[in-house]
Structure 1
Amino acid sequence: MQKSIINPWQWQNQLGYAQAVEVIQPTHTLYCAGQAAMDADGRPIAADMSGQIDACLDNLETVLQQAGYSLANVVRINFYTTSVPQFFAAYGQVIGRLSAGGCVPASTLVEVNALAFPELMVEIEATAVK
């Protein structure tokens, strides 16, 4: 698989994402459902945004690994949060985690009124290719 990052500007670089990611002739595409801070039994975990982001990314990596992918294969991530200010206060850990995994995805951040459970503050949805 060949992957190219398209960034007509530079400002997004400090936020750890790309304006577009072109994939030439992928052989497989994995569409991941939104991953939230849930334990293996489907119960919400982590009480703060930082903990929930870590749990979401842990769960996303678990799904990716189960399918034979890694963060480096992710080309698009959508973030859904109940609080953009709280999300951005913890955004450094998102950039660090994605960067360490070789992931510079096209990305969208959306604030929503609620997620599936009242305790949830963030959900992360991804598309990966290989």
Structure 2
Amino acid sequence: MEKRAFNPWKWQDERGYVQAVEVKQTEGTLYCAGQAAVNPDGTSSNADMKSQLIHALENLEQVITEAGYECKNIVRLNVYTTSSEELFDTGFDIYLDWVKKHGIKTALTLMEVKVLFETLKIEFEATVVK
């Protein structure tokens, strides 16, 4: 696989994403359903944003690795949250650390939504290649 990031500017570098990702000669593409802070028994977390963010990233990482892919090859990430303000105030550094840990260079879209399923506050939807 050949992957190349494009950044005409520098400001996004501190925000944990790139403007575009080109991918050539892939072996496969994994389209992940939205991963949130859902427990193994299927119950939704009612914890705070920071705790749910950590749990959702753990769930996303588990899906990706069990499918035989690597987080570093996430090329598209959609983030849905019920409060952008709460996300940036309490947990965005956790996301940035996770991105750095895996060396992720992804095109990213963040959307604030009115509601997610049950008590969920954040959800990650990823496209991964190999």
TM-score normalized with structure 1 length: 0.96
CA RMSD of aligned residues (A): 0.8
Structure 2 match to 1:109: 110
Task: State the Cα deviation string for residues 62-90 of structure 1 (Å, max 9, x = none).
Answer: 10011001211111100000000011121
Report the 3-state secondary structure (helix = DSSP H, G, I; strand = E; otherwise coil) of the residue aligned with 1:23: strand
TM-score normalised to the size of structure 2? 0.96
Aligned residue-pair number: 129
TM superposition shift of 1:33: 0.3
The residue that corresponds to 2:10 in the other structure is: 10
> Partner residue of 2:84?
84
**Cα deviation digits, residues 27-77 of structure 1 (max 9, x gap):** 200000000100111111251111111001000011001100121111110
Letter in 2 for 1:111: E
Q: Runs ≥4 in structure 1, deviation > 4 angstroms?
A: none
Q: Distance in 2 between matches of 1:108 and 1:92?
A: 17
Distance 2:56 2:81 in 1: 12
- State percent identity of aligned pairs: 47
Name stretches of at least 5 consecutive residues in structure 1 with no aligned partner: none
CA distance in 1, matches of 2:120, 2:7: 32
Unaligned runs of 5+ in 2: none
- Output the CA distance in 2 between the equivalents of 1:12 and 1:22: 17
